[in-house]
Homo-oligomer: A and B are copies of this chain.
């Protein structure tokens, strides 16, 4: 039995409780560490959570915990006393206002750099940056939604220079590309898109992957591909209103006939570079 978890099983993943239950039943197990959300969000937002002489400590808290009544509370009073540190709050959206107020109370400077990252590491990632004091209002203004975590500390404003992920030409694009087009898929990915390279007809695992976040486009090169996606496109699990980027007139006609609301027609031999250009022309960038 493999129990998959996002992130690391022992970092706010309840892996400890599950392992204890296995031991109690006498069942052997292994624990496989993973990339926890804090470091994933840091890498993809360009915030080095440690930096020599600037942030010499990294603390992860589950900010959510602190708004429950029972159990040990996060010691915001202590955390707010060390400016040379990065503080990352998991599930931080609902607890943000309270956490910021307590950190300010404890003496953390109001102009401490801070950021909140929604849907970290995905095509739907959105990053809001502000000062510590200004973060709650800015997060509310932009309308961030869970899952989101906050990063507070002196290095958070380095994202202004180091946000490589958001600067990629196709940042924010989430494209379905038939698995047959593997070279094209690799080139679109290199340009910053999240590419779902899936065999057609779709299998259940591919549907689950596609449905995890809204799509922005589908790259279609054959009329048969339009047909194979036609029933899928109207499924309840299908999210977003992706543009059909159709290579060739026949493919585009088929897509229009089948009722795709957004169809872009390209040359039948359109290259990856041409496709990138058209996606950019279409203006369907990420949500920020």
> A50 — which chain B residues lie within 8 A by C-beta?
10-13, 16, 60, 62
CA distance A46 to B30 in the complex (A): 9
> A58 — which chain B residues lie within 8 A by C-beta?
11, 59-61
CB <8 Å contact, A84 and B56: no
Instruction: Tell me if A285 counts as interface (CB < 8 A to partner B).
Output: no
| Number of this chain's copies in the complex | 2
CA distance A46 to B9 in the complex (A): 11
Q: Which of B53, B75, B78, B164 contacts A72 (CB 8 A)?
A: B53
CB <8 Å contact, B71 and A53: yes
> How many residues of A sit at the interface, in one of the four size bands?
35 or more
CA distance A16 to B159 in the complex (A): 10
Instruction: Tell me if A112 counts as interface (CB < 8 A to partner B).
Output: no
Task: Name A residues whose Cβ lies closer than 8 Å to a Cβ of B.
Answer: 8-17, 19-20, 23, 28-36, 39-40, 42-44, 46-54, 56-62, 65-66, 70-75, 78-79, 81-85, 121, 155, 158, 161-162, 164-165
5 of the cross-chain contacts (CB-CB < 8 Å) are A16-B51, A57-B59, A57-B61, A78-B78, A78-B82
